[in-house]
Structure formats: C-alpha cells, structure tokens
C-alpha cells in the first residue's frame, strides 16, 4: 500500500494509537503523583514501597485493560507500543506503511500526553519522587535493567501470541495483558522502572530531560518481543498468527492482514 493511500485510508487508526498512549501517559503520571509525591495523602497512608507498587500495578493494569477493550482500542488494535507494532510487522500482520505511521503516532501521543500531564500537574511532576515518571535503571544498573526489560517483553508477547490465537481463549487477551503489566510493576519495576515501551520511556526523557540509559528502553523491549515472535513462529508457524488486534471480537474494521474469521469459526459451537 503506497504511503499516501495508507495515510488517507487509515489515519483514524493512527490518531487512535496516539490518543491511547497519550491517555496512558496522563493516567500513569496522575497515579504516580498520587502514590509517590510527599504531599499526597495516599503516600502517607501507604508507607510501604511494595504496597504502593501493588496499587500502581492494579491501577495501570486496569487502565491497560480499559484502553484495549475501549471502542478505540478495538478499532486500532490497541498496540500503543512501538515494540508491539514492530513485532506484528515481523509476523506479517501489519503493512510496512501502517507500521511506520503507528510508531510515529505512538511517539507523538506519548509526548503529547506527557506534556498535558506536566501542564496539568505542574511542579509535582518534576519532584524527585515522581521524576516525570521516567524509567531509569535500578540498583542492579544497566545490565539488570536490560535483562529485566528483555525478560518481561519476551513473556508478554509470547503470552499474547499464545492466548490471542487460541479460539476459546482469545477474548481473555486484554485481561492477560493487564494482569502481566500489573505484576511487572509490582515485581520488576525496581530493576528497570518497567517500561516495555520505547515511546513511553522517550516522552519523560524528552519532557524532563532525563536521558541516562534510554538506549535500554529502545532496544530491550522490541528485542524481547521479537525473540518471542521468532520462537512462536518456530513452534507453530506463521499461519497460527491470525491478527494483530489485542481484542478482535467486535464490529470495528480491521486494517491488518487479518484471518481472525478462521479463528472465530473454530471457536463457534
């Protein structure tokens, strides 16, 4: 599909991807201020860092599920992550121009969302306890952060590919994603800040001028997801990947190289 045709026909999906990630960034910033800023009553009520991460994981996981299952998410496929889009490009489920525009709009949406959060919340976003919700290496340094991001991306994409292509379980994909994201925030965040998403890490780095180790979040998440895709292809083959949507059981159009009707027919009684 030529570039102009892709942009002309699929611009609503591109804008949706930007909007979804913008909403996610705003929500994540609000949650972080509420849980981590010293003046927040929640911060005083939850002195345990583990407890605060548990609450954050619950909120972020629920937000991810809500975005995936929203009408917008059902239309665009709810990638809102360049790593996800690039993986489905490798799997042959998204056309190259669509993948390029998805990634570009995801980055734009993340920056826009971070900018709105900065304007709305003011100096609270810059406080060291919030630090623009930047993803930064933890106590185990860059190697620990890289290993953590690689592992969680591998598990997430591997799980998505398995669940979303099982005819009786594909409808659970949004819930599985939300559960994994919430678990990662609880358990993995001390290693890397739990990014999974180059655009999600780029926006705080740009707005807050926090650039250390950004390369980790540009390399480990897509690499982990691509490795999961290669393993899936080796075990089940390309025909076992039916679509690039995370929630396909809806009436919205699909712009991907989709064979979901085959999966749906298998699941039908």
Give the model's pLDDT for residue 125: 97
pTM, to two decimals: 0.95
Give the span between the Cα atoms of 167 and 186, in whole angstroms.
30
For range 161-175, the mean pLDDT: 95
For range 147-152, the mean pLDDT: 98
Give the span between the Cα atoms of 177 and 196, in whole angstroms.
12
Domain boundaries, the chain: 3-267
Give the span between the Cα atoms of 231 and 158, in whole angstroms.
8
pLDDT for residue 11 is more than 80 = yes
Give the model's pLDDT for residue 192: 97
Give the model's pLDDT for residue 202: 98
Its CATH class, for the domain covering 3-267, is mainly alpha
| 195 Cβ neighbours under 8 A, 6+ residues apart | 135, 149, 201, 217, 221
Give the model's pLDDT for residue 112: 98
Helix (H) or strand (E) run with residue 88 in it: helix 82-90
Give the span between the Cα atoms of 29 and 14, in whole angstroms.
23
Name residue, tokens 């390309």: 238
Give the span between the Cα atoms of 74 and 91, in whole angstroms.
20
Q: Name the average pLDDT for the chain.
A: 96
For range 141-164, the mean pLDDT: 98
Query: In the structure, what pLDDT confidence band is assigned to residue 268 with cuts at 50, 70 and 90?
Result: low
Give the span between the Cα atoms of 123 and 81, in whole angstroms.
27
Tens digits of residue pLDDT in 78-99: 999 999 999 999 999 999 999 9
pLDDT for residue 1 is more than 70 = no
Tens digits of residue pLDDT in 24-62: 999 999 999 999 999 999 999 999 999 999 999 999 999
Cα–Cα distances (Å) from 176 to 49, 79, 213, 236, 255, in that order, read 24, 14, 29, 20, 24
Cα–Cα distances (Å) from 137 to 65, 149, 193, 215, in that order, read 26, 10, 7, 11
pLDDT for residue 196 is more than 80 = yes
Query: In the structure, what pLDDT confidence band is assigned to residue 269 with cuts at 50, 70 and 90?
Result: very low
| 32 Cβ neighbours under 8 A, 6+ residues apart | 56, 130, 133
Give the model's pLDDT for residue 39: 96
For range 10-32, the mean pLDDT: 98
Give the span between the Cα atoms of 195 and 20, in whole angstroms.
16
For range 121-142, the mean pLDDT: 96
Tens digits of residue pLDDT in 220-265: 999 999 999 999 999 999 999 999 999 999 999 999 999 998 887 7
């Amino acid at each position: 599909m030529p570039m102009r045709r892709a942009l002309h026909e699929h611009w609503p999906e591109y804008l949706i991807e930007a909007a979804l990630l913008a909403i996610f960034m705003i929500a994540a910033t609000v949650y972080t201020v509420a849980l981590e800023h010293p003046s927040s009553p929640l911060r005083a009520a939850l002195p345990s860092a583990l407890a605060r991460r548990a609450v954050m994981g619950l909120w972020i996981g629920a937000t991810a599920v809500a975005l995936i299952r929203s009408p917008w998410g059902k239309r665009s496929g709810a990638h809102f992550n360049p790593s996800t889009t690039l993986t489905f490009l490798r799997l042959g489920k998204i056309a190259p121009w669509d993948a390029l525009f998805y990634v570009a709009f995801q980055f734009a949406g993340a920056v826009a969302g971070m900018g709105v959060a900065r304007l709305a919340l003011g100096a609270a976003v810059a406080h060291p306890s919030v630090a623009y919700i930047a993803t930064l290496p933890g106590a185990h340094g860059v190697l620990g952060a890289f290993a953590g991001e690689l592992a969680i991306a591998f598990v997430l994409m591997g799980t998505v590919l398995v669940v979303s292509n099982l005819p009786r379980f594909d409808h659970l994909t949004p819930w599985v994603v939300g559960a994994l994201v919430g678990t990662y925030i609880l358990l993995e965040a001390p290693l890397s800040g739990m990014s999974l998403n180059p655009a999600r890490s780029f926006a705080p780095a740009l707005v807050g001028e926090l650039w250390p180790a950004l390369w980790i979040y540009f390399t480990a998440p897509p690499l982990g997801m691509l490795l999961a895709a290669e393993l899936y292809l080796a075990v089940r083959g390309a025909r076992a990947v039916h679509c690039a949507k995370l929630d396909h059981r809806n009436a919205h159009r699909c712009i991907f190289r989709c064979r979901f009707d085959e999966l749906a027919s298998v699941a039908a009684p």
